[in-house]
Amino acid sequence: MLRTIIDKEIRDLLRSTKFVYTFAVCAVLILLSFYIGASNYQTSVTHHEAARAENLRQLEGLTDWLNVEQHRIFLPPQPLAALVTRISNDIGRTTEVEARGELTAHDSRFNEEPIFAVFRFLDLRFIFQIVLSLLAILLGYDAISGEKERGTLRLALANAVPRWKYILGKLIGLFSTLSVSLLVALAIGCLMLPMMGVPMGGGDWIRLVLIIVAGLLYFGAFLSLSVFVSTMTQRTSSSFLVLLVFWIVSVLIIPRSAVLLAGRAVDVPSVDELASKKASFGTDLWSDFRSALADFSVPGEKDPEKLMTALNNYMDSLTTVRDNQMDAFALRLNEDRYNRQVQQQALAFNLARISPAASFSLAAAELAGTSLSLKDRYRQAAAEYQKTYASFMKEKTGMNVGGRMIIMKIGDDEKNEPIDPTELPAFVYNQPQLAGSIGNVTTDTGLLVFFNLIFFAAAMVAFNRYDAR
C-alpha cells in the first residue's frame, strides 16, 4: 500500500509541468553555482600565486635581511569556499608580518573588487537556502489541499487506506523524487570541480557530501512543513500564502533579527574604539620610550662602535619592554572584545537557530571552513607564523626587528651578496580538522533532523483530523 502511494506520487510529480520547469531552473542554478565557484577558485589561485610571487620579488636585490620590509602572507584560497563563500570574501586575506607588533589582516576580496559585494556570488549555500526551500514550498504546498480541491483525496480515502500511510507515502514520494533529481544535478556539479582544476582532497569531498546532506535535510524540513501547512488549509491558495509568509520570516527575518537582538543584548566595543585606546596607550609608551632613551649613557665608554652597539642593545631592551606592555594591553582589550563577540555570536546563533535556514547556513559554513571561525583561525595561523618569522629574522639579523625600532648602523659593513627570499619560512594555513568540524555541526544537523520530524509529526496529526470531504 505504502509503495503504491509512493510510486504514484513519484510518477505524478515527474509528469507534472510544474516539476519539469522548476527542476530545470534549479538544476541550471546548481550547475551555475558549481561553475562560478570553480571559476572563482581558479581566479583566486591565480591572484594568490601572483601576490606571493610579487611579495618575494620585492625582496630581490636586497643584501641585508634588516632591510626586509612589508613582508606579507596571504590566506590561500580554499576549494570549498568556492561553493559556500560565507565570510571568505569579507575578511582580509593579506597580512603584513613583522617580527613584533600586532597583526592586522586587510584587502578582502570585496574590498579589492567591491562590485562583487554589490552583486554577491551565486553559491551552493544560496541555492539551497533560498531557491531549494522555495522549490520545496512550490511542490509541497498543494500536497493535501490540492488533492482535496481536485477531488482525488475523497476518492483515495474512500479506500481502506490508513491516513498515516497516505501522508507518509506522499512525503516519501515527494522527497525521494526531488532529492534524487537534485542529486543528479549536484553530482554533475561535483564532477565539474576536478575537471575545472579545483583540487578536492578526500576531506573536502566528505565535507561537500555533508553539506549536501545538510542541504537535503533543510530541503526536507521545508517539504514536511509544506505538507503540514497543506493539511491545515482547505485551499491551495491559502496554503501557499501561509508558506510564503513562513519562508520570509524563517529565511529573511529571523536570522537578521537574531543578530540585531544579540547586538542590543551584548555590547561589543568597535574596532575603532579599540584602535583609539591602543593608539593612546602607544603614544604614552612612545613618550616613555623617548624619555628613557634620553637617559642612555655608558659612562667611560669612548669607542663609537661599542657605544652604538650598547645603544642598539639598550633600544632593543626598551622596545621589548614597550612591546610587552603594548602586547599585554592589546591582548587585554582584544580578549575582552573577543569574549564579548563570542558571547554575542553565540546568542545570535542560538536565537537564529529557531529557523531551519539559519541552522543550515551555519552548518554549511562550518563544514566549508568559511564560518566566522575562519577569521580567528587565519589570525592564529598568522600569529604562529609571526613567531617562526621572528626566529628566522633573529637568526639572520641577530635581533628582533620591527615594532618601530630604530636600528642605527655605522660604518659600511653592507654585504654585497643578495639575500635569498626563498629562505623565508612559508606561511601554511590548515583547514580545521574534519572531526572537529563534524562535531561543531552536530547541533545544527540535529536541529534540521528535529525540524523534519516535528513538521512531519504535525502533518500526521493534522491530516488525521483533516476534513477530506
Residues 354-383 that bind other proteins (CB under 8 A): none
Member of 57, 120, 154, 387 binding other proteins (CB under 8 A): 154
Instruction: Return the closest-CA partner of residue 354 out of 228, 438, 448, 265.
Output: 448
How far is 86 from 82, CA to CA, in rounded Å? Answer: 10
8 forms part of the interface with other proteins (CB under 8 A)? yes
Select from 25-33, 70-78, 160-168, 315-323 the region that touches other proteins (CB under 8 A).
Answer: 160-168
159 forms part of the interface with other proteins (CB under 8 A)? yes
Contact 50, 76 (CB under 8 A): no
Mapped onto helix, strand or coil, the DSSP state of residue 63 is coil
169 vs 255 by CB, closer to other proteins = 169
Select from 148-156, 192-200, 257-265, 412-420 the region that touches other proteins (CB under 8 A).
Answer: 148-156
Member of 24, 28, 155, 265 binding other proteins (CB under 8 A): 155
Vertex 195 angle, CA 189 and 200, to 5°: 80
Nearest distance from C-beta of residue 141 to other proteins, angstroms:
17
How far is 457 from 167, CA to CA, in rounded Å? Answer: 10
How far is 382 from 376, CA to CA, in rounded Å? Answer: 10
Member of 46, 104, 152, 464 binding other proteins (CB under 8 A): 152
How far is 331 from 320, CA to CA, in rounded Å? Answer: 16
Nearest distance from C-beta of residue 464 to other proteins, angstroms:
12
| Angle between helix 304-352 and helix 271-294 axes, rounded to 10 deg | 160
Beta strands at 105-106 and 71-74: parallel, antiparallel or unpaired: unpaired
Member of 157, 310, 372, 434 binding other proteins (CB under 8 A): 157
4 forms part of the interface with other proteins (CB under 8 A)? yes
DSSP H/E element including 60: none
Instruction: Return the closest-CA partner of residue 405 out of 66, 15, 64, 11.
Output: 66
16 forms part of the interface with other proteins (CB under 8 A)? yes
Nearest distance from C-beta of residue 461 to other proteins, angstroms:
16
408 forms part of the interface with other proteins (CB under 8 A)? no
Instruction: Return the closest-CA partner of residue 389 out of 376, 404, 402, 377.
Output: 402
How far is 109 from 90, CA to CA, in rounded Å? Answer: 6
Member of 5, 38, 401, 405 binding other proteins (CB under 8 A): 5
Member of 114, 162, 425, 439 binding other proteins (CB under 8 A): 162
237 forms part of the interface with other proteins (CB under 8 A)? no
Contact 363, 409 (CB under 8 A): no
How far is 239 from 139, CA to CA, in rounded Å? Answer: 12
Select from 32-40, 158-166, 225-233, 410-418 the region that touches other proteins (CB under 8 A).
Answer: 158-166
Contact 363, 448 (CB under 8 A): yes
Quickly list H helices, 66-162.
109-112, 115-118, 124-126, 133-140, 145-150, 152-157
Select from 4-12, 73-81, 94-102, 269-277 the region that touches other proteins (CB under 8 A).
Answer: 4-12
Binding residue count for other proteins, defined by CB under 8 A:
23
Nearest distance from C-beta of residue 173 to other proteins, angstroms:
12
Member of 57, 106, 150, 290 binding other proteins (CB under 8 A): 150
Vertex 94 angle, CA 92 and 96, to 5°: 125
Binding string to other proteins for residues 103 to 122, with x set by CB under 8 A, is what?
--------------------
Binding string to other proteins for residues 55 to 94, with x set by CB under 8 A, is what?
----------------------------------------
Q: Which residues bind other proteins (CB under 8 A)?
A: 1, 4-5, 8, 11-12, 15-16, 150-152, 154-162, 467-469
